[in-house]
């Protein structure tokens, strides 16, 4: 039997989250802090107003930064979706956790449906550690660490899942390839473009609102049950083909991509407000970041901004690796902080 590899948490977002939570664990209630990780998809360093985007269309994220700590020098472990996410959840570099482009063990760095690799049972994920500490764990959105049953997130520490093993690519013809499935826990409840509509012509889709409600409902339930929770909100609205709900379509100066960013910003604001309404904001660490830099190949209408940095997704230049990052924890993280340390 393979030995499960212990991650070096200080090398990852998991280490940052874990370290911040331990630093503030002695709170008023005496209960472990809740953890909320808001992971965006292909969002660039320069997409937020607080990072200098001239449109200034992210008031909620800018407020989150003003009330917490901003990390201008926060890096992903890889400039591509799957390896970055594997590193985030394992605390191990892609070359160690099996997620790098040419690895035969887990060729999951790219996303065609014929990829058969995924996260190894030998890897110990953050939700598995948290479950041992009594947490309830939910993933909302894109998993991207394998679509076969042995790679299912509920086999790797999560208790609930609403989302997909892949991105919302498509539509496919259901002959050569089926449309990407969407799951609630173990049950497939539909497919993108068929049951969860995405209009490729207009960019209209209600997915972000569905994902938002899943997050709000989970936090409410866990507050009622008095069980600490880990919410991993990994939505993909800013990954091409970009989408936004009808309420946000046509509202941004930046076109469809900006519409998606505005809807994400609004959703983050509602999540933070919900935590405050429940009275648990001072017992909940919230961390916002992206899996990799903006995909310039999709710009300008389907891709974001990496600010002053060179290149973007799929490159190891700054634009591909440096990500927007904000930590928010009222009562524990002093407001208005900026950390220029590498993270």
Q: For each of the chain's 343 residues, which pLDDT tens digit applies?
A: 445 554 444 345 555 555 555 555 445 556 899 999 999 999 999 999 999 999 999 999 999 999 999 999 999 999 999 899 999 999 999 888 888 755 444 454 444 566 678 898 999 999 999 999 999 999 999 999 988 899 999 999 999 999 999 999 999 988 888 999 999 999 999 999 999 999 999 999 999 999 999 999 999 999 999 999 999 999 999 999 999 999 999 999 999 999 999 999 999 999 999 999 999 999 999 999 999 999 999 988 899 999 999 999 999 999 999 999 999 999 999 999 999 999 8
Report helix, strand or coil for 327: strand
Helical (H) or strand (E) element with 268: helix 256-278
Helical (H) or strand (E) element with 261: helix 256-278
* 333 neighbors 284 (Cβ within 8 angstroms): no
313: its two tokens: 């997704």
Q: Check residue 134 and give its pLDDT.
A: 96
Q: Characterize the bridge pairing of strands 229-234 and 34-40.
A: parallel
Catalytic status, residue 239? no
Q: Check residue 60 and give its pLDDT.
A: 98
Instruction: Cis check for the bond before 144: say yes or no (omega within 30 of 0).
Output: no
Q: Check residue 300 and give its pLDDT.
A: 86
Q: Check residue 4 and give its pLDDT.
A: 56
Rounded Cα–Cα distance for residues 251 and 98 (Å): 41
Beta bridge mates, 288: 38, 326
Given the residues 53, 144, 168, 223, select the one marked as catalytic.
144
Rounded Cα–Cα distance for residues 209 and 245 (Å): 7
**Is the Cα torsion angle 100, 186, 227, 231 positive or negative in sign?**
positive
No. of H helices and E strands in the chain?
8, 12
Q: Check residue 190 and give its pLDDT.
A: 96
Catalytic status, residue 144? yes
Given the residues 53, 81, 167, 239, select the one marked as catalytic.
81
Q: Check residue 8 and give its pLDDT.
A: 42
6: its two tokens: 């212990």
């Amino acid at each position: 039997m393979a030995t499960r590899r212990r991650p070096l948490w200080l090398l990852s977002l998991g280490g940052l989250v874990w370290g911040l939570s331990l630093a503030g664990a002695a709170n008023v209630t005496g209960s472990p802090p809740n953890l909320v990780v808001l992971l965006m998809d292909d969002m660039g360093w320069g997409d937020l107003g607080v990072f200098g985007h001239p449109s200034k269309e992210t008031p909620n994220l800018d407020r989150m930064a003003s009330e917490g700590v901003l990390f201008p020098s926060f890096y992903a472990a890889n400039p591509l979706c799957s390896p970055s996410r594997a590193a985030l959840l394992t605390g191990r570099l892609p070359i160690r956790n099996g997620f790098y482009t040419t690895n035969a063990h887990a060729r999951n760095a790219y996303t065609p449906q014929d990829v058969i690799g995924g996260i190894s049972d030998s890897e110990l994920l953050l939700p598995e550690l948290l479950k041992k500490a009594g947490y309830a764990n939910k993933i909302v959105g894109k998993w991207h660490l394998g679509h076969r049953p042995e790679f299912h997130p509920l086999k790797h520490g999560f208790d609930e899942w609403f989302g997909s093993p892949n991105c919302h690519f498509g539509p496919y013809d259901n002959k050569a390839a089926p449309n990407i499935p969407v799951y609630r826990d173990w049950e497939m409840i539909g497919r993108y473009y068929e049951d969860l509509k995405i209009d490729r012509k207009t960019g209209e889709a209600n997915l972000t609102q569905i994902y938002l409600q899943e997050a709000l409902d989970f936090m409410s339930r866990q507050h009622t049950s008095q069980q600490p929770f880990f919410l991993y909100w990994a939505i993909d609205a800013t990954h091409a083909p970009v989408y936004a709900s009808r309420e946000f379509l046509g509202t941004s100066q930046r076109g469809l991509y900006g519409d998606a960013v505005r809807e994400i910003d609004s959703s983050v604001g509602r999540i933070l407000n919900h935590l405050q309404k429940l009275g648990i904001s001072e017992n909940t660490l919230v961390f916002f970041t992206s899996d990799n830099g903006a995909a310039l190949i999709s710009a300008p209408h389907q891709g974001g901004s990496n600010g002053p940095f060179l290149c973007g997704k799929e490159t190891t230049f700054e634009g591909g690796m440096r990500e927007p990052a904000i930590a928010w924890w009222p009562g524990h993280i002093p407001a208005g902080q900026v950390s220029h340390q590498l993270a």
